[in-house]
Amino acid sequence: MRSVLLPTVGFVVAIAALTSALMLLGGLVSRETMIVPFGAGILVGLANAWYMMVKFAKQNRHPGRAG
């Protein structure tokens, strides 16, 4: 499940950013409006990456595991 979650979330964020960029280029929305979705997408991506990093770090600390 974990291995599927990260690429899926990343893909969704990438599609949202791409859609937003295309809308901006098309002149459908103003530049000020775009700060919110881009900022949210970046924050979600960073939070997700940090969460996965912490989760894998904790998982690797178990005494039963090699390394």
Closest of 59, 44, 42, 41 to residue 3, by C-alpha: 59
- Examine residue 24 and state whether it is found in any structural domain, yes or no: yes
For residue 66, tell me if it sits in a domain.
no
Residue 15: inside a domain: yes
Note the pLDDT of residue 61.
63
* 67: in domain: no
**pLDDT tens track for 4-62:** 666 777 777 777 777 777 776 776 666 666 677 777 777 787 788 788 788 777 776 65
Establish if 48 belongs to a structural domain: yes
Range of the domain at 27: 2-60
Work out how many domains the chain is built from and give that number.
1
Instruction: Please check whether residue 65 lies inside any domain of the structure.
Output: no
